[in-house]
Amino acid sequence: MHFEPDVILYVAHQDEFHALASHAASLVAQGLKIPSPHLQAVVNELGLSRDQAPGAIQARLQSREPELLSANYRAIVDECRVRGTTAAWVYLPVPGAGGADMRDKLVPIAKNSGFVTLDLTGWAHGRVGLFLTAEHHPNARGHELIAEALLNAIRNNPTFPFVSR
């Protein structure tokens, strides 16, 4: 935020729920400050405290992963709004990365949290050899396809600011 951006792009993949509960559980178990009122509300609703076993805290939080993700997303959107920055959420599924397509679960959470949403599903349709490594980092052609898909998604989203149609 030091650079006072007009737009922040949050890029999400199909692994958005991965390790989500473990970080929040660690904060609760150690008695550390919860970083947002939205996340604190989930913790309070579940009646969690540092007096409980860490595994029990994590299990309770895992049962509420959609609410945890929404709390994190809302914290980002709130921070952007305070600073006059547009918060845009970009769904960029990684082909071959495993896991189910999470689009239908993630897009509503992002929208309801206040993000302008952009969906890049299909950006690599029918193409192979777009990644440099097994960690799914795109090569130059992969980046080019992602950029094209992102530009098209921005142009086709009437709620996205700063774009002359």
Chain segment 97-133, per-residue pLDDT in tens: 666 678 999 999 999 999 999 999 999 888 888 887 7
What would the pLDDT profile of 7-21 be if each residue is shown by its tens digit? 999 999 988 988 889
- Average pLDDT for 50-64: 95
- Domain hosting 139: range is 7-155
- Strand 7-12 vs strand 116-119: parallel, antiparallel, or unpaired? unpaired
pLDDT for the residue numbered 28: 97
Domain membership flag for residue 102 = yes
Number of Cβ atoms within 10 Å of the Cβ of 96: 10
Domain membership flag for residue 106 = yes
pLDDT for the residue numbered 132: 79
Domain membership flag for residue 165 = no
Place of tokens 């929208």: 111
Domain membership flag for residue 162 = no
% of the chain with per-residue pLDDT over 90: 72
Q: Give pTM, 2 decimals.
A: 0.89
> How far is Cα 124 from Cα 112, in angstroms, rounded to an integer?
27
Domain membership flag for residue 93 = yes
Count of structural domains within the chain: 1
Domain membership flag for residue 76 = yes
Domain membership flag for residue 98 = yes
Domain membership flag for residue 131 = yes
- Residue environment code for 140-156, b if the CB has 16+ CB neighbours within 10 A, otherwise e: eebeebbeebbeebbee
pLDDT for the residue numbered 153: 95
